[in-house]
Amino acid sequence: MVEHVDLVFAMDYENQVQLLSGFPQSKNKILLLRAFSGERHGPFEIRDPYYIGLEETERCYQVLTSCIKNLADKLHVNNSTRA
């Protein structure tokens, strides 16, 4: 599947390393999703909320929502300039 998609997003460095190890030919399309958070400083990983409680799970959801919205906006702008 990795060979047939444009981008692959990892949540943390461990996921990213696993993807890069398994698909070295796809290194240019494996990115950390947090890169689209809009934050200039801070962690680049999105922690797995499974073991960290409700408050951190809600924070994870907020970060994911922000990243996906920013990514969608960026893709929309890029597609609009191509048209």
The pLDDT assigned to 82 comes to: 63
Domain of 57, CATH number, reads 3.40.50.2300
Q: pLDDT tens digits for 20-66? A: 999 999 999 999 999 888 877 667 888 888 888 899 999 999 999 99
Confidence of residue 68 (pLDDT cuts 50, 70, 90): very high
Cα–Cα distance for residue pair 73/61, rounded to 1 Å: 18
- Pairing type for strands 30-32 and 8-10 reads parallel
**Counted domains in the chain:** 1
Q: What is the CA radius of gyration of the chain?
A: 14
- Which helix (H) or strand (E) element contains residue 59? helix 53-82
Q: Which domain holds residue 17?
A: 2-82
Cα–Cα distance for residue pair 27/38, rounded to 1 Å: 23
